[in-house]
């Protein structure tokens, strides 16, 4: 191979081969071998990177072939996204403010790195922050719309879990993952959360008062009556507060439904105008194209006419050339008229289709808006009726519970008093009925007084001559008083029938009289 060559030339060739086969690959490897630091992702793209659009490497290295491949880095530094969400609509149509802070970053799993290489490569931190913020705001509003304001305020763990699940699944599509979520505070414009806190505090205070009252075991009837009135008054005030809150919620739902209907109508009108403008531009474009085609065909016909005229000039007589020219002109005129008629027919057809589409769009959109408005109004009326009925039922239930609690305490107090009375009369059980009868004496006397309290007697006049006329030596006045006393039931007989022993200062009955009363009682039995 090297026969006939100079030794210097052979040495030069060998040195070149040594450099090309050994030194040059080493230089290429050193120059194009890229290492990936731990806080970045190496993205190699170009020809020969595998089945995907790019090859992603974290914590390793790769050889980037010149000319056919290139590389770039994705930073794994966390990105803090501040979300100042205002007026998000919750499940009960109450708008809440949820300022929060999300810490996101590019994931290191193969799928997330591949997604980030396809969608975030070449973007700066501000652009990545903007994309993440748009996704987070949308998913945060979606989560708030599925939960009531009580759940959001009380069950923060479930709220954060749903946010993590929804936001993470959407951020993963662009290669990001959620590192941390911090909900700073939750407020609402209507003051509903503050009202919930006040109601909970009031319920706790009322519960504590009830427990204190139960521990003290109030036995007095007056205290039981006062407690019952207090509970009834509190129930009435709570019912009024609930009614006011329901009215505010109803007004808010009606206003929101009205604004949403107006927004949908404006959106439909804007979309309709856009479609009309697009159709008009399309019609103008089609008309221009038809005119250009017509001019082209006229020019072609003119060129053909000139060519025919030249041929006829060379091959035929003057008469034949004039006849041929007339025929060509007639043919060109006919073709121009046909082309013009076709263009006008196409324009008229497009205008007819556009007008039909516009009419259908206006009618359909208006019918959809009317149907949606009727549905919203019906749902608002039904919801208001359900809430008012529930509020009235809760108020009635609380009132009856308060009355039942007061009656129970009165009965417990009476039972406690009777137990103490029996315990006090342990040595003399016969005294207990006497004391109970004496306790009821005012009521019995009051009932007897009611029988004659409405009689209007100005005075009582007794005419008596002073001499006894009935043969018993008594005058008329004495007889009247004696008959009056005899008409009253003997108190000792009444006490004996009731099984009560009267005090000694009321006198005693003779034994014979007592036996007579016993016999009389047995006869009646």
| Token pair 């491949």: residue | 69
What whole-number distance in Å separates Cα of residue 139 and Cα of residue 132? 11
Domain-ending residue, one of 389, 420, 451: 420
Q: Are 156 and 172 in contact (CB under 8 A)?
A: no
Residue 511 has pLDDT above 50, yes or no: yes
What whole-number distance in Å separates Cα of residue 147 and Cα of residue 150? 8
Same domain for 353 and 499, yes or no, is: no
**Does 14 map to a domain?**
no
Same domain for 50 and 98, yes or no, is: no
Same domain for 30 and 91, yes or no, is: no
Q: Are 135 and 171 in contact (CB under 8 A)?
A: yes
State the first-to-last Cα distance of the chain, in angstroms, to the nearest integer.
156
Same domain for 317 and 445, yes or no, is: no
| Token pair 């531009």: residue | 281
Domain-ending residue, one of 373, 393, 420: 420
Cβ of 500: how many Cβ atoms within 10 Å? 18
Residue 486 has pLDDT above 50, yes or no: no
What whole-number distance in Å separates Cα of residue 45 and Cα of residue 48? 8
What whole-number distance in Å separates Cα of residue 354 and Cα of residue 106? 49
Same domain for 289 and 241, yes or no, is: yes
- Listed range (102-106, 121-125, 301-305) with the worst mean pLDDT: 301-305
- Listed range (59-68, 191-200, 229-238, 349-358) with the worst mean pLDDT: 191-200
Q: Give kind and range of the element (H or E) at residue 83.
A: strand 79-89
At 485, the pLDDT band (50, 70, 90 cuts) reads very low
Same domain for 488 and 415, yes or no, is: no
**Does 200 map to a domain?**
no
| Token pair 């919801």: residue | 383
Same domain for 171 and 54, yes or no, is: no
Instruction: Count how many domains the chain has.
Output: 4
Residue 412 has pLDDT above 70, yes or no: yes
Whole-number pLDDT of residue 23: 63
What whole-number distance in Å separates Cα of residue 261 and Cα of residue 372? 8
Same domain for 249 and 379, yes or no, is: yes
At 105, the pLDDT band (50, 70, 90 cuts) reads very high
Q: Quick: pLDDT tens for 249-273.
A: 888 888 787 888 777 877 777 777 7
At 505, the pLDDT band (50, 70, 90 cuts) reads very low
Same domain for 394 and 261, yes or no, is: yes
Q: pTM for the complete prediction?
A: 0.37
**Does 168 map to a domain?**
yes
- What's the CATH code of the domain at 98? 3.30.479.30
Same domain for 384 and 462, yes or no, is: no
What whole-number distance in Å separates Cα of residue 430 and Cα of residue 501? 8
**Does 439 map to a domain?**
yes
**Does 177 map to a domain?**
yes
**Does 4 map to a domain?**
no
Domain-ending residue, one of 420, 454, 480: 420
**Does 207 map to a domain?**
no
Pairing between strand 95-106 and 187-188? antiparallel
Which residues, 6 or more positions from 225, have their beta carbon under 8 angstroms from its beta carbon? 406
- How distant, in Å, are the alpha carbons of 156, 421, 426, 491, 496 from that of 430? 68, 12, 9, 18, 12
Mean pLDDT of 184-208: 76
Residue 72 has pLDDT above 80, yes or no: yes
Same domain for 411 and 480, yes or no, is: no
**Does 125 map to a domain?**
yes
What percentage of residues in the chain have a pLDDT greater than 90?
A: 5
Closest CA to 305 of 329, 283, 277, 281: 329
- Listed range (120-129, 143-152, 356-365) with the worst mean pLDDT: 356-365
Whole-number pLDDT of residue 507: 54
What whole-number distance in Å separates Cα of residue 321 and Cα of residue 311? 9
Residue 299 domain boundaries:
225-420
Same domain for 342 and 255, yes or no, is: yes
At 489, the pLDDT band (50, 70, 90 cuts) reads very low
């Amino acid at each position: 191979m090297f026969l006939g060559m100079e030794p210097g030339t052979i040495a030069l060739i060998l040195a070149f081969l040594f450099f090309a086969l050994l030194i040059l690959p080493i230089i290429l490897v050193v120059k194009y071998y890229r290492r990936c630091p731990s806080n970045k992702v190496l993205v190699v793209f170009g020809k020969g990177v595998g089945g995907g659009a790019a090859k992603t490497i974290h914590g390793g290295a790769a050889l980037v072939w010149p000319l056919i491949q290139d590389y770039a880095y994705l930073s794994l530094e966390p990105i803090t996204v501040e979300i100042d969400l205002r007026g998000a609509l919750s499940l009960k149509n109450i708008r809440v403010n949820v300022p929060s802070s999300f810490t996101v970053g590019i994931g290191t799993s193969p799928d997330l790195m591949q997604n980030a290489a396809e969608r975030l490569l070449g973007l700066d931190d501000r652009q990545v922050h903007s994309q993440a913020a748009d996704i987070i705001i949308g998913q945060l509003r979606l989560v708030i719309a599925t939960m009531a304001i009580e759940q959001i305020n009380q069950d923060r763990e479930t709220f954060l879990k749903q946010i993590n699940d929804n936001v993470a699944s959407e951020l993963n599509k662009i290669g990001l993952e959620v590192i941390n979520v911090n909900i700073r505070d939750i407020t609402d414009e209507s003051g509903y959360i503050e009202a919930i806190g006040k109601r909970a505090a009031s319920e706790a205070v009322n519960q504590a008062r009830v427990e204190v009252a139960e521990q003290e075991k109030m036995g007095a009837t007056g205290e039981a009556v006062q407690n019952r009135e207090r509970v009834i008054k509190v129930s009435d005030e709570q019912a009024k507060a609930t009614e006011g809150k329901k009215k505010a919620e109803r007004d808010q739902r009606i206003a929101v439904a009205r604004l949403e209907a107006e927004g949908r109508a404006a959106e439909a009108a804007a979309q309709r105008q856009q479609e009309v403008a697009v159709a008009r531009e399309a019609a103008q474009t089609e008309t221009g194209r038809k005119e250009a085609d017509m001019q082209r065909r006229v020019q072609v016909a003119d060129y053909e006419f000139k060519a025919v005229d030249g041929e006829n000039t060379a091959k035929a007589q003057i008469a034949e050339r004039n006849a041929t020219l007339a025929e060509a002109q007639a043919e060109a005129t006919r073709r121009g008229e046909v082309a013009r008629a076709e263009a006008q027919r196409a324009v008229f057809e497009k205008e007819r289709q556009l007008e039909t589409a516009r009419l259908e769009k206006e009618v359909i959109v208006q019918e959809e808006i009317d149907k949606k408005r009727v549905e919203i109004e019906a749902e608002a009326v039904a919801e208001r009726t359900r809430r008012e009925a529930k509020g009235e039922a809760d108020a009635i239930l609380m009132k009856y519970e308060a009355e039942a609690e007061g009656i129970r305490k009165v009965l417990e107090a009476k039972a406690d008093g009777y137990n103490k009375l029996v315990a006090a009369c342990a040595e003399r059980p016969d005294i207990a009925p006497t004391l109970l009868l004496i306790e009821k004496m005012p009521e019995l006397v009051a009932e007897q007084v009611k029988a004659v309290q409405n009689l209007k007697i100005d005075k009582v006049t007794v005419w008596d001559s002073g001499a006894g006329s009935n043969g018993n030596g008594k005058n008329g006045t004495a007889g009247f008083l004696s008959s009056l006393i005899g008409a009253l039931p003997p108190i000792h007989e009444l006490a004996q029938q009731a099984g009560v022993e009267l005090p000694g200062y009321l006198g005693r009955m003779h034994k014979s009289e007592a036996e007579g009363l016993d016999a009389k009682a047995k006869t009646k039995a």
